[in-house]
Amino acid sequence: MVEPDVMAYVTLIMGLCKGGEVERGYELFREMKEKGILIDRAIYRVLVDGFMGKGKVGKACDLLKDLMDSGSRADLGIYNYIIGGLCNVKHVYKAYKLFEVTVQDGLEPNFATVNPMLFVVGKEERIMMALEVFEEIKGKGFSTAAIYKILMGAFHKIGDVQKALSLYGEMKDLNLELDSSTYSIAIQCFVENEDV
């Protein structure tokens, strides 16, 4: 009997995950581990993505732990999937902690890394956490009008119009593209601040 090689396993796992049969893909993953077959990050990424698509955040986190326990590092794609999944189930603090690990691992966060955390802000402590994330990525030269707009809206929502207007001023100073919803938030803040 011919044993499947790494490529055969990878192909099967990817196909199963794309077809929505992540559990079956995970069974093949476990079979690979039992046989001592080398498993690369690509397989972990496919499984993490598959579990996130099924809303199984715990399974995806277990895979990340397994990857790290094996002495390997996760790539940005894996971190992004898990951060997004944690935010989807409102575990923003855990997502923020994982963001910190991402930065400590020397990876450059991108929009997919930070957007889920910024999107779920609403309470003041979460907004302050999001602001910390924003300041960190801004210091590395990554800031977009979309991120500014999300934070402006969040600060306006909790009544901190001064901070929202400060962000609006930064956007103008950086010559970021201001759209109608950005102007709408700014106008509301100016009105509430009686600065019209």
**Residue 84 placed within a domain:** no
As a whole number, the mean pLDDT across the chain is: 85
Number of folded domains that form the chain: 1
pLDDT tens, position by position, 76-130: 999 999 999 998 888 888 888 898 888 888 887 777 887 787 777 655 566 777 7
* Domain encompassing residue 69: 1-74
pLDDT computed for residue 196 by the predictor: 65
**Residue 145 placed within a domain:** no
pLDDT computed for residue 112 by the predictor: 80
**Residue 143 placed within a domain:** no
Closest CA to 122 of 93, 88, 156, 98: 156
Helix, strand, or coil (residue 179): coil
Q: How far is CA 77 from CA 73, 83, 129, 177, in A?
A: 12, 10, 22, 28
**Residue 39 placed within a domain:** yes
| Burial of 41 from C-beta contacts in 10 A (0-12 / 13-18 / 19+) | middle
Query: What's the average model confidence in pLDDT over 119-143?
Result: 70
**Residue 44 placed within a domain:** yes
Whichever domain contains 22, its CATH number is 1.25.40.10
Count other C-beta atoms under 10 Å from residue 183's C-beta.
Answer: 11
pLDDT computed for residue 123 by the predictor: 56
**Residue 152 placed within a domain:** no
Cβ(129)–Cβ(93) below 8 Å:
yes
**Residue 65 placed within a domain:** yes
**Residue 8 placed within a domain:** yes
